[in-house]
Amino acid sequence: MFMNDIYMIFLGLLILIIGILVGVAYLTLLERKVLGYIQIRKGPNKVGFMGILQPFSDAIKLFTKEQTYPNFSNYLSYYFSPILSFILSLMIWLLIPYYFNMISFNLGILFFLCCTSLGVYTVMVAGWSSNSNYALLGGLRAVAQTISYEVSLALILMSSIIMIMDFNLMMFFVYQNYVWFIILMFPLSLCWMSSSLAETNRTPFDFAEGESELVSGFNIEYSSGGFALIFLAEYSSILFMSLLFILMYMGGFSLSIIFYLKLVFIFFLFIWVRGTLPRYRYDKLMYLAWKSYLPISLNFLLFFLGFKILLL
């Protein structure tokens, strides 16, 4: 490989990371604005022009706040688990199917599953090591929830892989040329949507940080930098989940502005759900994962296998 190619790849990586960080910053602004208008009030509208600079002032505030050293905490794991979660969410973003200047993963979906499964450990370690009852309970809940939704997530992913018979994320675009998979695999795509809501600990299933029960859940002891990293990791994984929804069900990756508009729309859907639905009950959440999504995804896996065999 020529040196120039390597330079271009690193430049692409740098642009990707800066894009993720700025994108996450503005998604927080979008979320606050949309939640504000859902609750019939204005969101942040003072900093800069109509609140344009709000995310940057938030970031500066977060990074200059005081860092705490909780008593009896396991400080090394307390310090490193936000960093690890941020590393993992950036690593997942390497999967974005650029046509050029980035790595092309032939087994991209396996890479995605590996990174998302590792995300559980950071939450667990962050909850356990900060030596607080609330954090421990939030971490336990988050682990059980993420684990049980990961099974149905992987099975739903499996049935859409069976449709394309490849692990490469680029192939989704080829197969969805005429009809989107959201229509072809209709109830299953909505199952994927709510499973990804649960996988990223979003609001109808946000038991990891239930504000009214556990004050802030697993990240309660975190202040400035650690909290900022956890926050960035969560939002970039939400953004990646909406990217994956578009890749798998809404037409795949294409070099057009429509792709990014669809991405923002799916993220808006995440916020909309947060603004509308109340929190679920924990045992119902578990029943939803094990007694409804798992049998549905298994049965549909069988169905799509037969469907594909008919087509092959």
Partner 1 sequence: MILLTNIFIIIMLISNIMMFLSIILSKKSFMDREKCSPFECGFDPKSSARIPFSLHFFLITVIFLIFDVEIALIFPIIPLYKLVNFIFWTKISFFFILILLIGLYHEWNQNMLNWTN
Q: What is the CA radius of gyration of the chain?
A: 20
148 contributes a contact to partner 1 by CB under 8 A: yes
8 contributes a contact to partner 1 by CB under 8 A: no
* Cα gap 72→130, rounded to integer Å: 8
Contact pattern for partner 1 over residues 199 through 218, marking x by CB under 8 A: ----------------x---
Applying CB under 8 A, which of residues 95, 123, 125, 134 lies at the interface with partner 1? 134
Specify the residue, 271 or 289, whose C-beta has the smaller distance to partner 1. Answer: 289
147 contributes a contact to partner 1 by CB under 8 A: yes
Provide the minimum distance between the beta carbon of 175 and partner 1 in the complex, in angstroms, as a whole number.
14
Specify the residue, 63 or 260, whose C-beta has the smaller distance to partner 1. Answer: 63
Q: Which of residues 275-294 bind partner 1 (CB under 8 A)?
A: 282-283, 286-287, 290-291, 294
* Cα gap 176→179, rounded to integer Å: 5
Provide the minimum distance between the beta carbon of 64 and partner 1 in the complex, in angstroms, as a whole number.
5
Binding span for partner 1 by CB under 8 A among 26-34, 165-173, 194-202, 248-256 = 165-173
Integer CA distances (angstroms), 70 to 36, 79, 222, 279, 296, in order:
34, 11, 9, 30, 44
* Cα gap 305→267, rounded to integer Å: 31
143 contributes a contact to partner 1 by CB under 8 A: yes
23 contributes a contact to partner 1 by CB under 8 A: no
Q: Which of residues 61-100 bind partner 1 (CB under 8 A)?
A: 62-73, 79, 82-83, 86-87, 90-91, 94
Applying CB under 8 A, which of residues 95, 125, 161, 188 lies at the interface with partner 1? 161
* Cα gap 99→301, rounded to integer Å: 30
Applying CB under 8 A, which of residues 57, 166, 280, 307 lies at the interface with partner 1? 166
Integer CA distances (angstroms), 235 to 29, 30, 61, 120, 202, in order:
12, 12, 18, 15, 10
How many chain residues touch partner 1 (CB under 8 A)? Answer: 76
104: Cβ–Cβ under 8 A, 6 or more apart, which residues? 97, 168, 170
* Cα gap 271→202, rounded to integer Å: 9
Specify the residue, 52 or 147, whose C-beta has the smaller distance to partner 1. Answer: 147
Q: Which of residues 216-275 bind partner 1 (CB under 8 A)?
A: 220-221, 224-226, 228-229
* Cα gap 35→270, rounded to integer Å: 11
58 contributes a contact to partner 1 by CB under 8 A: no
Q: How many beta carbons lie within 10 A of that of residue 22, not counting itself? A: 12
* Cα gap 241→98, rounded to integer Å: 17
